[in-house]
């Protein structure tokens, strides 16, 4: 008896950003395998009788190794149940959703992908920093901030940035000093605007503005923690006027400007 596995993107943090299709899959699930960054309000929509399995991951600290998650999804799929693999952001953007889907396909387990609002999209919108803007940024590039199995980053540093492209770095907090240095050594200007969005789209969101040259010191001085997304490019300056989301109770600006730091 074969069940069905839905790889569902839970979005970037704000539970109201979950898609309607994702909600329907969660509410009809017999088993849910969920990640660390899924909002509590979303987990509360799991049926009371459904099996819940935590598969959370942080840098170098995996509750379940990826191979075990893959085997678990195959086992649950073969049990005849409706299974939801619930992942933060979007399953196909640095979410290893394609790896899990490939294993399911290899074993003949029916599956579907339910997209989610990505961390880049959510953090961009909630910080007021558009990823593209006519006359400023004609494209956007997403890169990971850590290597496979925490190994060396192998990016073409000279090609990552240009005047018309926004660069978004996922999971790069621990390597941000090396990333910034590599970009600077590749010839990119130290005064390129940058923003770090911590806990994006949530009530704990904090946006810190810096430059490529001050990124590493900013992370240290402001005690920025994961989850955080880094946005680098001229579009960052638009956040000064477009930052609409103010999670602080006093209603003040969500920006801390350390450009000159």
**Parallel, antiparallel, or unpaired for β 228-232 and 165-170?**
antiparallel
* Contact call for residues 117 and 12 (beta carbons, < 8 A): yes
CA pair distance 214, 56, nearest whole angstrom: 32
Which one from 14, 35, 87, 90 is the annotated catalytic residue? 35
209 belongs to the catalytic site: no
Which one from 21, 30, 57, 240 is the annotated catalytic residue? 57
240 belongs to the catalytic site: no
CA pair distance 6, 158, nearest whole angstrom: 39
| Long-range Cβ contacts of 221-225 (<8 Å, 24+ apart) | 221/258, 221/261, 222/256, 222/258, 224/173, 224/196, 224/198, 225/173, 225/198
Crossing angle for the helix pair 97-106 and 66-78, nearest 10 degrees?
50
Length of the chain: 261
Catalytic residues: 35, 57
């Amino acid at each position: 008896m074969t069940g069905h596995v839905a790889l569902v993107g839970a979005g970037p943090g704000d539970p109201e950003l979950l898609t309607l299709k994702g909600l329907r899959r969660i509410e009809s699930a017999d088993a849910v395998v969920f990640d660390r960054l899924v909002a509590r309000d979303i987990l509360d929509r799991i049926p009371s009788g459904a099996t819940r399995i935590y598969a959370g991951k942080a840098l170098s600290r995996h509750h379940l190794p990826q191979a075990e998650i893959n085997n678990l999804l195959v086992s649950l799929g073969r049990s005849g149940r409706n299974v939801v693999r619930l992942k933060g952001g979007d399953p196909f953007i640095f979410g290893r959703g394609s790896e899990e889907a490939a294993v399911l396909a290899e074993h003949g387990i029916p599956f579907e992908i339910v997209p989610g609002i990505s961390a880049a999209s959510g953090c961009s919108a909630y910080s007021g920093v558009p990823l593209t803007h006519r006359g400023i940024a004609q494209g956007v590039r997403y890169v990971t901030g850590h290597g496979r199995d925490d190994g060396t980053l192998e990016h073409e540093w000279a090609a990552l940035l240009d005047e018309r492209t926004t660069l978004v770095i996922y999971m790069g907090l621990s390597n941000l000093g090396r990333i910034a240095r590599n970009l600077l050594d590749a010839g990119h200007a130290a005064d390129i605007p940058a923003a770090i969005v911590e806990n994006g789209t949530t009530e704990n969101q904090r946006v810190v503005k810096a430059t490529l040259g001050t990124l590493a010191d900013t992370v240290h001085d402001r005690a920025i923690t994961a989850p955080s997304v880094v946005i680098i490019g001229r579009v960052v300056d638009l956040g000064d006027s477009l930052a609409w989301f103010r999670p602080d109770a006093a209603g003040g600006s969500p920006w801390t400007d350390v450009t000159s730091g």
